[in-house]
Amino acid sequence: MPLELLEFEEPIGILLKEIEALGLLPKTPEREREIAELRDRVGSIRRDLYANLTPWQRVLVARHPSRPNTLDYVALLFTSFSELHGDRLFADDHAIVCGLAEHHGTPVLVVGHQKGGGDTKEKIFRNFGYAKPEGYRKALRAMRLAEKFRRPIVVLVDTPAAYPGIESEERGVAEAIALNLREMAMLSVPIVVIVSGEGGSGGALGLAIGDRILMQEHAVYSVIPPEGCAAILWRDANRKMEAAAALRIGASDLRDLGVIDEIVPEPEGGAHTDPTAAATLLDEALTRALEELARDSPALRLDRRYDKFRRMGSVGLVENDAEPAAGEG
């Protein structure tokens, strides 16, 4: 089944239809050459498009329905996965999955948002990746187990936001996220966070405190989805493209701002075009991060983790031990 093309990939779609039409005709050497030339043009156009994505186009790529999700990466990156269910307080939230697994023989805990695959029933079952408070509490329960048994934690972030429904608020979603922020900051085991798709708002941050923050090349990470930002600032959700640019949601901007540590490259055309290749590239970065963190003492990891997040947003602040400038008090 051909992949769904995004709106900015229309030129590719036209060429693919030409290739399909030529493929139905009798094969001749000349026709084979023509098809090969068209495929080369598709590759050239795709490379050019993905090398110059606008912020809004990055959002579309991050939301592609065929983009690999957490369970896809679990199957491609880990072995012996055993899922954990329930928060032991209210329910089992299917928008967040947790499980014990092995990564190249190393026991780990995997936690991640799960939007659901291409099937509508699956998306509804997963609440489209909008996690409720019980999801964050389930994740924290699993992470406390990882702390007890000294397992590194691997987190995959892919959510538009936490679920904003009234029942979610009644059960304390803000408190659940806040508790995760505090507790994850104090876990002594290594934590590697991977922003693999859409990292939206506090729903993403509720699982994203870690020692190493990796981000796939075409993922996005923001305090709010562009549509929500535009609706709040300008009372017009149609200004989402303008909002996406202002939010600086792309991986290169976030690395420059110190929000993430490393950009993980994706296959040409995005992770959805070749999930296996995307997983291979991600595996290299994940393996390197886990090996580096394993060499540090727990105390050093905790200090560095605290400093990493403490520095975020500090613009023009004078360090405590800095010398005052000439003429200053």
Decide if 151 contacts 108 (C-beta within 8 A): yes
pLDDT per residue over 222-249, tens digit each?
999 999 999 999 999 899 999 999 999 9
Token pair, residue 198, equals 């859409």
- Using CA atoms, how far apart are residues 165 and 306, in angstroms rounded to an integer? 32
Look at the domain 59-311 and name its fold.
2-enoyl-CoA Hydratase; Chain A, domain 1 (3.90.226)
- Per-residue tokens: 63: 């939301």
Q: pLDDT per residue over 192-204, tens digit each?
A: 999 999 998 899 9
Nearest to 278 by CA among 110, 61, 45: 61
Query: pLDDT under 70 in the chain at which residues?
Result: 1-2, 315-329
User: Using one digit for the tens of pLDDT, what is the confidence trace for 37-54?
Assistant: 888 888 888 888 888 899
What is the helix (H) or strand (E) element at residue 245, kind and residue range?
A: helix 240-247
CA distance 86 to 294: 29
Q: Taking the domains of the chain in order of start, what are their residue ranges?
A: 7-52, 59-311
